[in-house]
Amino acid sequence: MDPVALLPHRPPFRFVDAVDELVAGESVVARYRVTGDEAFLAGHFPGNPVVPGVIQLESLAQAGGIAVLADERYAGKLPLFGGVEEVRFRRIVRPGDELRLEVTLEKMSARAGWGRGRATVEGDVTCEARLLFVLAPAPA
């Protein structure tokens, strides 16, 4: 099974294209390529498209969600973005860039957990954050 299929997200709001490394319940390395066709780029900013920081954070959260959902202890759960700390944006992301998304899960419980995420483009850090995952029941 393709690990991306673990996500409940679907285009146009799925920001993970592929998973390169996965240790269930521990870590993930994934990728998202910015094509330039994303609707949000039309307005952010006209003539100077820049991927919003919140989309970078969402990409990291979705990658982390794959690591959570790959762990059988969290089967039937819906990992929601519960919070974020220690966020830093360090480089602009533009169409044609491929984000490498690395998330390492920290403490996880039956209800929530934390992960550390880092997004890079060609080795340059674009975004770093500590992410809170809240585990809700998945819809029937």
* Other beta carbons within 10 Å of 76: 10
44 among known catalytic residues: yes
For residue 34, give Cα distances in angstroms to 55, 65, 97, 99.
11, 20, 6, 8
CA-wise closest residue to 99 among 20, 7, 13 = 20
**Active-site choice (9, 14, 31, 44):** 44
CA 9/CA 7 separation, integer angstroms: 5
Which residues belong to the active site?
Answer: 44
